Amino acid sequence: MDDPTSGSYILLFYALPIGLAGLLLVLFALSLGWLKELFAHQPIRGSRWMWIAVALVLVFNMARFATTNYASAGLGYVASWLLAGPCVGFAEEVLTRGFVVNLMRKAGHKERAVALVSAGVFAAMHTGNLLSGQALFATALQVVYTFAFGICMYLTLRVTGNLMWPVLLHATTDPSIFLQAGYPTEGLFAQLASMGNIPVIFFGFLAIFFIRGELESQEFPATDELSRG
Q: What is the 3-state secondary structure (H, E, C) of 17-63?
A: HHHHHHHHHHHHHHHHCCHHHHCCCCCCCCCHHHHHHHHHHHHHHHH
What Rg value do the Cα atoms of the chain yield, rounded?
Answer: 18
The residues near 141 (Cβ < 8 Å, ≥ 6 apart) are: none
Asked if residue 215 belongs to a domain, the reply is no
Mean pLDDT of the chain: 93
Asked if residue 220 belongs to a domain, the reply is no
For 164, the domain range is 7-210
Asked if residue 174 belongs to a domain, the reply is yes
Read off the pLDDT of residues 111-129 as tens digits, 9 standing for 90 and up: 999 999 999 999 999 998 8
Model pTM?
0.92
Of the candidates 123, 53, 104, 119, which has an alpha carbon nearest to the alpha carbon of residue 218? 104
* pLDDT surpasses 90 at 103: yes
Read off the pLDDT of residues 10-24 as tens digits, 9 standing for 90 and up: 999 899 999 999 999
* pLDDT surpasses 60 at 220: no
Percentage of the chain exceeding pLDDT 70 = 93
Asked if residue 221 belongs to a domain, the reply is no
Asked if residue 108 belongs to a domain, the reply is yes
Tally of domains within the chain:
1
Asked if residue 226 belongs to a domain, the reply is no
Asked if residue 1 belongs to a domain, the reply is no
Asked if residue 104 belongs to a domain, the reply is yes
Cα 193 to chain center, whole Å?
18
